[in-house]
Amino acid sequence: MLDRQPRRPSRRRCHKRSRRFPLRSITSTAMFTYFFITSTIVVPLLTNFGFTTPVARGAPVSQGLSPPPVDSGIYPDPELCHGNCSWIHDPAIVYEDGTYWRFATSGNIGIATAPFLQGPWTYRGALLPHGTSIHLREDQDIWAPTITKRDNTYYCHYSVSYIGSQHSEIGLATSSSLTPGTWTDHGSIGLPQNSRYNLIDPYVFQDSKDAPIYFSFGSYWSGIQQIEMTSTDQLRAWTGAENDIKNIISNTTTNFAVQEGAIMHKHEQYYYLFFSVGQCCRRAFELMPLGDEYHVVVCRADSITGPFNDAHGKDCLTENGGTTVLASHGDVYAPGGQGVMVDPKSERSVMYYHYGELVSCLEWMGVELC
């Protein structure tokens, strides 16, 4: 995050939309960030990993992880969102007893619920209304929550950092309910800071109740890190050695060395690691050249620990591998912060993510859920 531009937009007032793109007639604002849910991308990907990686016009094949096209028409457009849909970033969604629960960056981890993935979403409150016990500095923020359930306890791992910093921590809060007001903050889980990685964007994956727990995190520097944890206790207070932290994804290509927000999804016998690549969240006057901005990449492995390869067989740790599955297109700019889940209601694999919308004056305005 040393060179990163602000990934959290300032809280300017967001105009309510009644249909697809009414803001084209509003001159005071022009760029939104949304959250989109689709099975259009994920289902073909999981059933046929041999498709061709999108390559931008003029991009040399030797570049490794290829910059995506922005006008190819191969990506689906976002759907509408209903209810509380503004200022959502790095969303995490879980389903419990007929209700979808959404947890998001900032606002001390804002919580919202909905009867369907598309909404209507209702804001319920903050997970940590008084903030975290982790204190780095006054302008710190709480980023990228991830939710898991262990027996009858919910775990929310989160990262604490500030823009442009590698001085970060990963913390934990627990609750017997997903409801705001029931969460207990435990502070840092004790992962060591190190110059080769950044302690942000945690994610927890476990194949089955008796299988090992795998904890991933990281961005910038040497990419995505993974730890095998021997017990649930390690999720509360990690006691391992620093050499237990393994680098599983790395890319040294210019403008694509940024990798973050990795999530694991298993389909049949394969493990898919989705992560965000490129420069995130530039302001209107600092927008990256099209093709260098945030987009979603995937690598696949036979084992949860790797090695991970892209659709062309390139190693995603040693050969700059990675297959782009979602990128800027039309008015959709810099999609990322993705999650993948099997929707209990439709029983389909879906991907959700945030993105910016480009119209008229190209201004970063806010975040919405679609």
Q: Which residues are catalytic?
A: 90, 260
DSSP state of 190: -
Give, for 323, the enclosing helix (H) or strand (E): strand 323-326
The 8-class DSSP code of residue 47 comes to H
CA atoms within 13 Å, Cβ hemisphere of 7: 34
**Encoded amino acid at 177, one letter:** S
Residue 201 makes CB contacts below 8 A (sequence gap 6+) with 90, 143, 144, 159, 217, 218, 219, 260, 261, 262
Q: What are phi and psi of 341, to 5 degrees?
A: -150, 160
- Which pair of structure tokens corresponds to residue 85? 């849909």
Nearest to 322 by CA among 265, 259, 369: 259
- What whole-number distance in Å separates Cα of residue 285 and Cα of residue 142? 26
C-alpha to C-alpha distance for 226 and 241, rounded to whole angstroms: 13
Name the H helices within 291-349. none
The residue type at 129: P
Continuous H helices in 246-302 = none
Give the Cα separation of 347 and 299 in Å (integer): 23
* Continuous H helices in the chain: 42-47, 233-236
Torsional class of 3: left (φ above 0), alpha (ψ -120 to 50), beta (otherwise): alpha
Compute the distance between CA of residue 97 and CA of residue 100 in angstroms, rounded to an integer. Answer: 9
